[in-house]
């Protein structure tokens, strides 16, 4: 009796919180996805699939494809950048490992909006990147004048600032900047648990550094790679703030379209349908992750 009372005491409060503030709103939005908008504010749940069929319009399909492209490119760049960082942390000494991990998670201590505005200050026309490039241009131009080559205008008459903001490149750059730690941490966790005797055996048997990396390290780090890809790709696909602040009119992602449906367009049923399409994609990615885990457990993680 005492154990049962203790169980329900600790189980009920979080369960009620989850049901009231997560499951109930989610069910409401799910119902809206099968509703019709009548008038300015009336929404009637009729069971229609028109909202999902409307998402197949070429206009929205292009935005979906663009969102997938941005998220996929972001994930690939994060994977390429995060792997050496995770290797350095995993193979660093016990003294430096917590310091390096702290540097990775340090951006989480600052609000995303503040970090994005800081990135704008770096990339804008009179930002730090263009300011530094202009300073280098002036120094190089002065050096050419000293060599007597200034009359040939090898560097042009004046410095032209780089257009680094309000385009697709800025969006991808911002997404990588935001989501890189999400890739580093699972990779580090997988590499830190790795049995390093396999690496020593591979090198002792004559395999080179590259072959050891691709034949031993990569297979052992595969669970971390899959986890990193999923927890980077899914948030990047649903990103709203980064493309809204850094992108131009041609850089909007599906989350920006959803936001407009709930606010300016006041079309909640269509916005709910788009939201649940993203959720279905998330469920699919998690199912793929579960199948990959099952396959790894079935075949074993020991490299050949």
Write the CB contacts of 202 (distance below 8 Å, at least 6 apart in sequence). 211, 212, 215, 216
Any domain includes 145: no
Q: What is the largest CA-CA distance in the chain?
A: 94
Of 254, 268, 263, nearest to 28 (Cα)?
268
Any domain includes 3: no
Any domain includes 43: yes
Task: Print pLDDT tens along the chain (304 aa).
Answer: 567 777 777 788 888 999 998 899 999 999 999 998 877 677 888 888 999 999 889 999 999 999 999 999 999 999 999 999 999 999 998 889 999 999 999 988 889 999 999 999 999 888 888 888 888 877 777 776 666 655 555 556 677 788 889 999 999 999 999 999 999 999 999 999 888 888 888 888 888 888 888 888 899 899 899 889 989 999 999 999 999 999 888 888 999 999 999 888 888 999 999 999 988 888 887 787 777 767 666 655 455 4
Any domain includes 2: no
> How many helical (H) and strand (E) elements, i.e. helices and strands, does the chain have?
15, 2
- CATH number for position 212: 1.10.3720.10
Any domain includes 16: no
SS3 sequence of 211-243: HHHHHHHHHHCHHHHHHHHHHHHHHHHCCCHHH
Distance separating alpha carbons of residues 105 and 229, to the nearest angstrom: 18
Any domain includes 155: no
The structural domain count of the chain equals 1
Query: C-alpha angle with apex 84: 93 to 235, nearest 5 degrees?
Result: 115
Q: Containing domain of residue 61, as a range?
A: 28-124+164-299
Of 113, 125, 128, 129, nearest to 165 (Cα)?
125
Asked if 268 and 261 count as a contact pair (C-beta separation under 8 A), the reply is: yes
Residue 176 dihedral angles phi and psi, to the nearest 5°: -65, -45
Query: Which pLDDT does position 255 carry in this prediction?
Result: 92
String of DSSP letters for 107-125: GGGS-HHHHHHHHHHHHST
Any domain includes 173: yes
Any domain includes 66: yes
Of 294, 301, 273, nearest to 29 (Cα)?
273
Distance separating alpha carbons of residues 180 and 185, to the nearest angstrom: 9
Asked if 64 and 254 count as a contact pair (C-beta separation under 8 A), the reply is: yes
């Amino acid at each position: 009796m005492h154990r049962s009372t203790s169980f329900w005491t600790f189980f009920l409060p979080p369960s009620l919180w989850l049901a009231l503030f997560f499951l109930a709103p989610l069910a409401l939005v799910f119902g809206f996805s099968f509703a019709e908008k009548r008038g300015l504010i009336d929404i009637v749940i009729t069971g229609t699939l028109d909202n999902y069929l409307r998402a197949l319009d070429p206009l929205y399909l292009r935005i979906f494809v663009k969102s997938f492209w941005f998220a996929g490119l972001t994930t690939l760049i994060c994977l390429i950048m995060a792997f050496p960082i995770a290797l350095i942390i995993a193979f660093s000494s016990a003294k430096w490992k917590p310091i390096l991990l702290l540097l990775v998670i340090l951006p989480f201590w600052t609000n995303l909006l503040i970090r994005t505005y800081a990135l704008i200050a770096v990339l804008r026309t009179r930002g730090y990147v263009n300011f530094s490039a202009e300073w280098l241009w002036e120094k190089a131009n002065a050096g050419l004048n000293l060599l007597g080559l200034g009359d040939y205008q090898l560097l042009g008459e004046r410095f032209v600032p780089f257009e680094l903001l309000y385009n697709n490149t800025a969006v991808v750059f911002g997404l990588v900047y935001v989501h890189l730690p999400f890739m580093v941490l699972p990779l580090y966790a997988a590499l830190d648990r790795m049995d390093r005797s396999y690496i020593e055996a591979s090198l002792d048997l004559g395999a080179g550094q590259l072959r050891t990396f691709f034949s031993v390290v990569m297979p052992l780090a595969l669970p971390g790679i899959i986890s990193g890809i999923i927890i980077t790709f899914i948030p990047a696909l649903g990103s709203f703030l980064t493309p809204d602040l850094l992108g131009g009119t041609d850089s909007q992602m599906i989350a920006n379209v959803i936001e407009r449906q709930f606010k300016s367009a006041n079309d909640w049923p269509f916005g709910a349908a788009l939201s649940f399409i993203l959720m279905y994609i998330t469920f699919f990615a998690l199912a793929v992750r579960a199948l990959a885990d099952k396959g790894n457990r079935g075949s074993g993680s020991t490299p050949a």
